[in-house]
Structure 1
Amino acid sequence: MNVHHLELFYYVAKHGGISAAVRHIPYGIQQPAVSGQMRVLEETTGARLFERSPFRLTSAGEKLFAHVQPFFETLGEVAASVRGEASEPELRIGASEIVLRDHIPVVMQRLRKRHPRVRLSLRSGYSSELETWLRDRQIDLAIGPIEARAPARLQVRPLARVPLVLLVHRRSPLKSAGELWAVKKPREPLLGLPAGTTVMRNFQRGLKRRGVVWPQAVEATSVELVTRYVANGEGLGVNIAVPAVIKHRDVRALPLDGFEPMIMGLLWRPEPSAVVQRMLDEVSQYSRETWPEWASDAAGS
């Protein structure tokens, strides 16, 4: 059945005849056109749908009207709902699991004071994934490690320069990381994030400058896993010096002096929306308050 014919039939049945329907149909259409299309609808259904004079729905017409009435009578509500949803700002954020879990909720409380109806979408991933998602417009804002040079077609704002640390088990005899560099080829298993991440690239560059060869033995999917596996005695781990990440009763953190820190930053596409711009400012303010000793250095980088 033709949907337009069903719409006309809905108005005819609701208002009790073709002439009355023409006065209520919300667009211009003449009575002969409606009459002609009702005849086509009856031919299509193979049934007489209503008596013309006096107007009365047949049993077939009542059955058809009961089917189409809920759809056409709720179209206005559906349209209003769709318009309302489209008018609500959307914010899609990509970051590591720890950032999304421990920090974004606090920032969102601040953002909602300005944008109380913002729709939020969260997606965790590594820095390479975040950049791809931004370029493909799958997310609006990324928070993660950044390099000195901004990626192509993306804007960058540094937030904090987070030092790297070497995690050892609390029973380890090591007093400093420098003891390992003296042997040039440490035998202990090396744990860390995937080799392509900023943390591990910075660490391996630091080893190379010191003439140390130390292949990675274990790749972990999160900084929390690195700490946990060191606590389990699986080896030594490279991590970031965030207390919430490395604090464990069976783990000690040795400073990695002279190694490049991990620079946390914001990435977004040019010409951000109002809600994205506000989120950029809120995250920057939160970073300065939470890590003042690191954020102040990042401001000038």
Structure 2
Amino acid sequence: MDLQQMRYVVAVAETRNFTRAAERCEVVQSSLSHRIAGLERELGVKLFARTSRRVELTSAGEAFVTAARECLAAADRAAADAAAATGVVRGRLAVGVIVTTAAVDVPELLQRYRARHPQVRVDLRSGRSDALAAAVRDGKLDIAFLGLPESQRPTDVEALALDHDKHALLVPAGHPLADTPQVTLRQIADETFVDFVSGTPARAQSDQAFAAAGLTRDVAYEAGVVELITRLVARGLGVALLPSAFITPLAAADPALALIPVADGPRRIEYLIWSRFNPSPATRAMLKVLGVPD
């Protein structure tokens, strides 16, 4: 058994297709199939159940892939550590980001990082703050940028607060409150709201603010992405509370929208988080680019 065989098995497991796996591994399919078949003979088990139309992992295959991923990650880390000892940073950096990140210009950050460390492959993934935090804890992401209510702090990870922000009220330009200099939660409690999906940290920020004020509201529209929220608001279907640092430039560029400060509105903290356990050279290099002290 060797690392290349493990890579082939993982590629087939992830693509569920021998042809696509061979393309990913930059090898002819017959060679990939031959190496996997040899590994199955060596192990004495079938890793894949195959038909002419589909490929699925067997129970033995599921167990093997889990361990194979760990072995491949360890091998990659060993190579990265060896390179780092000579002053060269390489390997992989997995970054998670919420879509409303405003404290850091992530594309600009990644551009600077790539300019300094061109041999590092950067993988970027967006998602919910709670899911990204769990991925960092589980070692699936190296760092992540989160946005959490003031009452909540990341746990079991290293965390650096990047910014404190207040939410603002987004309304359609023709709304009666559009020219109001400031509103309170009580003034807007009877509005129809557009918000993030219930149970997410992004939604919790507004839910907690209304609950703390002893108010209830009607969330008629739930959306997973900001673009849909802003489009629903622009069409006059509801109003939304969104982080002001993120939404201000978007609202300023769209004449169909107006933004109003909220005196007692939700507050959030943007965090940078990373694993407490032995950060990789690529992770340490990113922390250095971000100016995080050792």
TM over 0.5: yes
Aligned to 2:273: 267
What's the CA shift for 1:202? Answer: 2.3
What's the CA shift for 1:158? Answer: 0.7
Aligned to 1:18: none
What's the CA shift for 1:164? Answer: 0.3
Cα 1:135–1:213 change in 2 (3 A) is same
Distance 1:177 1:213 in 2: 20
SS of structure 1 residue aligned to 2:116: coil
Aligned to 1:162: 165
- Counterpart contact for 2:185–2:264, Cα < 8 Å: no
Cα 1:134–1:252 change in 2 (3 A) is same
Cα 1:152–1:208 change in 2 (3 A) is closer
The structure 2 residue matched to 1:172, chosen from 160, 168, 175, is: 175
SS of structure 1 residue aligned to 2:219: coil
Amino acid at match of 1:158: A
Specify which structure has the higher proportion of strand.
Answer: 2
Distance 1:152 1:263 in 2: 14
What's the CA shift for 1:181? Answer: 1.2
The structure 1 residue matched to 2:284, chosen from 270, 277, 281, is: 277
Amino acid at match of 2:107: P
Amino acid at match of 1:164: H
- Higher mean Cα deviation, 268-277 or 172-181? 172-181
TM-align CA RMSD = 3.0
Aligned to 2:97: 95
Distance 2:202 2:100 in 1: 15
Structure having the higher Rg: 1
The structure 1 residue matched to 2:263, chosen from 257, 261, 274, is: 257
Aligned to 1:213: 216
Runs of at least 5 residues in structure 2 that lack an aligned partner in the other structure: 1-74, 81-89
**1:180-214 superposed Cα distances (whole Å, 9 cap, x missing partner):** 6148x50x321111232334322222222333210
Cα 1:281–1:163 change in 2 (3 A) is farther
Aligned to 1:3: none
Distance 1:150 1:221 in 2: 22
Amino acid at match of 2:206: F
- TM-score normalised by length of structure 2: 0.60
Distance 2:185 2:99 in 1: 31
**1:248-269 superposed Cα distances (whole Å, 9 cap, x missing partner):** 2111111122234221111111
- Counterpart contact for 1:240–1:246, Cα < 8 Å: no
Distance 2:201 2:261 in 1: 18
**1:63-82 superposed Cα distances (whole Å, 9 cap, x missing partner):** xxxxxxxxxxxxxxxxxxx9
- Aligned length in residues: 201
Amino acid at match of 2:210: L
- TM-score normalised by length of structure 1: 0.59
Distance 2:163 2:156 in 1: 22
Distance 1:161 1:249 in 2: 27
The answer as to 2:155 corresponding to 1:152 is yes
- Counterpart contact for 1:165–1:254, Cα < 8 Å: yes
